[in-house]
Amino acid sequence: MPYNLNVIDELHHANENAHSRILCKLLQYQDVNNQYTILKSFIRFVSLMNSSFGSIEINEPIITQEEKRIDLWIRDKDYAIIIENKVEGAGDQERQIERYIEKTKEYSEYNDNNIYVIYLPANNHLPSDQSWGKYKDKYIENNNFVNLSFQNIIPWLKDEVLPYCPIREEILVSGIRQYIDYLEGFYNLRLSQKDTYHIESNEICKIIGCQESDLFLQVTKTIEEIDILMDPKASCTKDGTETEKELQNLKVAKSVLEVYRNEQIDGFIKRFGDLSKAILSQLYGDIWRDKEYIRRDSDPCFLLYPETWETAAGTNNVHLEWKNVSVNNLFITNELPYKIEIHAEGKIGKIPQLKESLGLTQRKVFSQEVDKPKANLGCMSIEELRSYLTGIYKKEEVRKAIASVYEALQKI
Distances (CA, A) of 195 to 208, 290, 300, 307: 21, 31, 29, 40
Domain residue extents for the chain: 7-173, 197-265, 268-411
* pLDDT per position as a tens digit, 138-154: 998 888 999 998 988 99
Distance CA 314, CA 316 (A): 7
Q: Reduced to 3 states, what is the DSSP secondary structure of residue 48? A: coil
Task: Give residue 291's pLDDT.
Answer: 46
Mean pLDDT value of segment 219-244: 68
Has this prediction a pTM greater than 0.95?
A: no
User: Which of 108-117, 151-160, 241-250, 305-314 has the lowest average pLDDT?
Assistant: 305-314
Task: Give the mean pLDDT of the chain.
Answer: 82
Cβ atoms of 411 and 363 within 8 Å: the answer is: no
Read off the pLDDT of each residue in 212-229 and give the average, rounded to a whole number: 80
pLDDT at 233 over 90: no
Q: Tell me the mean pLDDT in the region 353-382.
A: 83
* Alpha-carbon distances of 406 from 144, 357, 382, rounded to whole Å: 32, 11, 29
DSSP strand E in 229-348: where?
301-303, 309-311, 314-323, 338-345
Per-residue model confidence (pLDDT) at position 104: 97
Decide: 126 and 147 in contact? Cβ < 8 Å: yes
Confidence of residue 334 (pLDDT cuts 50, 70, 90): low
At residue 326, does pLDDT exceed 80?
no
**Residue-wise pLDDT tens digits, 157-204:** 988 898 888 888 999 999 999 999 999 888 888 766 554 455 677 777
User: What pLDDT score was predicted for residue 292?
Assistant: 46
